[in-house]
Amino acid sequence: MSELEQILAGGREHAAPDRVLGGLGEELAHRQITGAPHTIYQELWHIAFWLQRSLDWVAGVEMRPARPEDSFPGQSETERETWAELCERFFRGIGEAAAIADDPARLERVVGSASHPGVPVRTMTVREHLEGLAAHNAYHFGRIVLLRQICGAWPPASDRVTG
């Protein structure tokens, strides 16, 4: 497994996504925490949104939101997808990204990349796309861990020493 693949799917330098999301139910995922701009659900939805956009660009499909706020779910998106379905969608996508990271020939291919509306499309390698995705995910998973800490739900129960 390559370093990039481990960072995307297995957590190398930070807690793995399955550990960060493990043990979270619908209630905690949707809990609005005072002072926090987004719920855990909204943070993961945002991660999955940009994950899919990155996969689209890597596949040669130009995708970008009309407005930056479109990258977080509205009420209708939140009602349409359960927490379990959102987690499943994320893990399916991150598995696809990790498989791409494990294909050295594909990593050096140059593809387009999202830019701000009205700005010409940038180009970068698939590797650069995935590195940016890994950094983006690490940032937002850090926010999820902080939200869990505030709620007293971190570390996961499976990590706690009992005695």
For the chain, list the domains and their CATH numbers.
Answer: 3-159 (1.20.120.450)
pLDDT tens digits, one per residue of 124-150: 999 999 999 999 999 999 999 999 999
Determine which of 38-47, 87-96, 151-160 has the lowest per-residue pLDDT on average. 151-160
Alpha carbons 64 and 122: distance in angstroms, whole number = 12
pLDDT tens digits, one per residue of 17-54: 999 999 999 999 999 999 999 999 999 999 999 999 99
**Pairing verdict, β 122-125 and 110-113:** antiparallel
The mean pLDDT value of the chain amounts to: 89
Residues 6+ apart with CB under 8 A from 89: 48, 81
Q: pLDDT at position 131, please? A: 95
Q: pLDDT at position 160, please? A: 55
Question: Which ranges in 36-125 belong to alpha helices (H)?
Answer: 40-58, 75-80, 83-101, 104-107
* Secondary structure (3-state) at 47: helix
Q: What is the mean pLDDT of residues 57-73?
A: 83
Question: CB–CB of 152/23 below 8 Å?
Answer: no
